[in-house]
Structure 1
Amino acid sequence: MANTQRNPNLRQELLDAGMKLLSEQGYHGTGLKEILERVQVPKGSFYHYFSSKEAFTAEIITDYTETLLALMDQHVEGTESSARETIRHLYRMMVSEFERRGCIRGCLLGNLAAEIGASSERCQHALQQGYRAWRQRFIPLVEKGQRNGEFRDDIPAGALADIYWNHWEGGILRMKLEGQADILRQDLDWLLDCLMAPAPPNI
């Protein structure tokens, strides 16, 4: 407890360490002991903030979501770029980060949804909230692109957002399988420039 009082940033340090380990090793591959060793604190300090590993993971999901949304806001608000190029910039920036880390991390929301999304109600709820928050931010971008003729408008913006998410998560799996970030970049370019683009006029 004394260490907790000396370090007001300990809670965030635990979350940051947990996020890194969960991203690389998954939920079942990450033990509490490893997290504590990474931050160099006793078990009691952990339980001062989190009631269980499940509660800790749910907090990490929320923290990850907030970071993702802040990144989106930073690059979307006030931009003069087209909707298509804004989305392209966002995913290329994230793919470059995946590449820098050796194509092993991917999206924490997708990783945990696949691993524990159906077995942990608390984490499932946090994952659902994370996806819905992302979707709420992404749909206006798609709507902007539809208004400007960049994206097809025969499919609702919400459905296109869902298709993008599904393509993103599936592409990440293939990137990790092949160990090549270019695979994900190319897949998303095809999605953005062809599948989401307006159909050519009938001649």
Structure 2
Amino acid sequence: MNTPRTDVRQHILDTAKPIILGKGFSVVGLNEVLKAAAVPKGSFYHYFKSKELFGEALLEDYFAGYLAAVDVVLKNQDIPAAKRLMRYWQGWLPERPGEGVQCQCLAAKLGGEVSDLSEAMRLALQHGTDSIIARLADCMREGIIDGSLPADLDADHCALTLYQMWLGATLLTKMRRDMSALESAMLATRKMLKL
């Protein structure tokens, strides 16, 4: 029985994601990914013509899944928009106190690493993060309408500022190996949203 092309391609991407989250893109060789996925090298090149195109596909796949999860949180019209936004930011924190601070965000993990190496990957990162920021701004505009956020809030500016702050806090968390940057980001977020 043959596995459909998209299933094998997706299997490679799904297998590679935790490896690359752990080690980075440049350090991980294709052989490591292919061995973990149990896929021959020739088959890999059938799905991805180069490691760079594989990296671009990995980022596109990551953001597609991430944005779908973001939509579940931010587009739930049964909950005031401010509460939806805070649930989104809460999702950046480990689920249990004392849990490791390992970064699960491919944008934070690869942003600095690949942006100078690959224009295609840089553009995939930019498109994905721009899409997140747009969703945050839309939710903030809903909060202004439903009264859960201040009427004078500049949604576009606030969404961009908060996302940049949280992305930076994620990087500081990796460096410090503690939660202080994310905790500060949460306090600043509440203050900026006047919650």
User: Shorter-chain TM-score: which interval?
Assistant: 0.7 to 0.9
User: In 2, distance between residues paired with 1:11 and 1:191?
Assistant: 41
2:188 is the alignment partner of 1:191: yes
User: In 2, distance between residues paired with 1:195 and 1:172?
Assistant: 19
Cα gap change, 1:99 to 1:133, in 2 (>3 Å): farther
Q: Which runs of 5+ in 2 are unaligned?
A: none
Q: Which amino acid aligns with 1:7?
A: T
Aligned partners of 2:149 and 2:194 also within 8 Å? yes
Aligned partners of 2:108 and 2:167 also within 8 Å? yes
Q: Which amino acid aligns with 2:178?
A: Q
Give matches, 1:65-104, under 5 Å.
65-96=63-94, 102-104=100-102
Which position in structure 2 is the counterpart of 1:28?
A: 26
Cα gap change, 1:70 to 1:163, in 2 (>3 Å): same
Cα gap change, 1:172 to 1:74, in 2 (>3 Å): same
Which position in structure 2 is the counterpart of 1:128?
A: 126
2:10 is the alignment partner of 1:7: no
Cα gap change, 1:94 to 1:132, in 2 (>3 Å): same
Q: TM-score when scaled to structure 1?
A: 0.84
User: In 2, distance between residues paired with 1:140 and 1:76?
Assistant: 9
The structural deviation recorded for 1:123 is: 0.5
Cα gap change, 1:20 to 1:157, in 2 (>3 Å): same
Q: Which amino acid aligns with 1:195?
A: M
User: In 1, distance between residues paired with 2:174 and 2:78?
Assistant: 33
Which position in structure 2 is the counterpart of 1:201?
A: none
The worse-fitting range, judged by mean Cα deviation, of 59-68 and 101-110 is 101-110
* Number of residue equivalences: 193
1:164-203 deviation per Cα after TM superposition (whole angstroms, max 9, x unaligned)? 111111110122122234641x2232122112328xxxxx
Aligned partners of 1:96 and 1:181 also within 8 Å? no
Q: Which of 133, 141, 144 is the matching residue for 2:142?
A: 144
User: In 2, distance between residues paired with 1:29 and 1:124?
Assistant: 18
The structural deviation recorded for 1:18 is: 1.6
Cα gap change, 1:147 to 1:77, in 2 (>3 Å): closer
Aligned partners of 1:54 and 1:120 also within 8 Å? yes
User: In 2, distance between residues paired with 1:97 and 1:57?
Assistant: 28
Aligned partners of 2:73 and 2:84 also within 8 Å? yes
User: In 1, distance between residues paired with 2:96 and 2:10?
Assistant: 22
User: In 1, distance between residues paired with 2:184 and 2:193?
Assistant: 12
User: In 1, distance between residues paired with 2:151 and 2:158?
Assistant: 9
What CA RMSD, in Å, does the superposition of the two structures yield over aligned residues?
A: 2.4
